[in-house]
Amino acid sequence: MLPLRDLNPTRRPPVVNIALIALNVVAFGYELSLGPQFGRFLSTFAFAPVRLFGPEATVGNALLTALTSMFLHAGWAHIGGNMLFLWIFGDNVEDTLGHLRYVVFYFASGLAATLAHALSSPTSALPAIGASGAISGVLGAYVFLYPRARIVTAFMLFVFIRIVEVPAFVYLPLWFLLQLASGVATVNTAQASAGGTAWFAHIGGFVAGPLLLLLLRPRRR
């Protein structure tokens, strides 16, 4: 179930959204250039829950790595999927909030997602990277702002692909339920401590999105 685009025009250029995508791409290019040094780079700039809850944790280091982790990705599929979602859904949220509010919204969503992940596995020393937590906040805001917007989606079943239009109030809650089910399935299992997808970051970001929207959305006169 891959989104291709939305049928939801904007009134102004999404300059912040484009800048965020560009920064993620540049950061990924830098990661690729590191070669064998990438592991050391990751240990310095990637967030892990022990940075917040461990015996040697400091708020400053946890906050710094939470921010830098939003621009790091584990591979081509990781960054490709994240940037596709950000490209499709971020421009409309920026259009509603305005450029400056959207910057605040994006990073606040990412921090909320990181906190949710840390609370779900407070003793983990595994690095958690990616923009998906912040993007989940964008998705949560989008479904409240544009529930009837049509999402052009590719449904794939084995070798068969069908392109359909799905309303946001169906597509995005379904996406959230898949994240929630996956997150609950990993609780108290080996998978929860073995790395992989930070499901609770997706869950936390999606829930934070509408709440932040209430705080940041411009009031109508």
User: Which has more pLDDT, 192 or 13?
Assistant: 13
Other CB atoms closer than 10 Å to residue 23's CB: what's the count? 13
Q: pLDDT (tens digit, 9 = 90+) per residue, 85-107?
A: 999 999 999 999 999 999 999 99
Beta bridge partners of 103: none
d(CA 49, CA 204) in angstroms, rounded, equals 15
pLDDT tens, residue by residue, 146-195: 999 999 999 887 778 889 999 999 999 999 999 999 888 877 654 444 45
For the chain, give the mean pLDDT: 92
Residue 194 CA to residue 190 CA, distance in Å, equals 6
Averaged pLDDT, 20-39:
95
Which CATH code fits 2-216?
1.20.1540.10
Query: For residue 114, what are the contacts with CB-CB under 8 A and spacing of at least 6?
Result: 47, 66, 69, 128, 133, 201, 204
Q: Which two tokens stand for residue 9?
A: 């025009």
Domain ranges of the chain: 2-216
pTM as predicted = 0.92
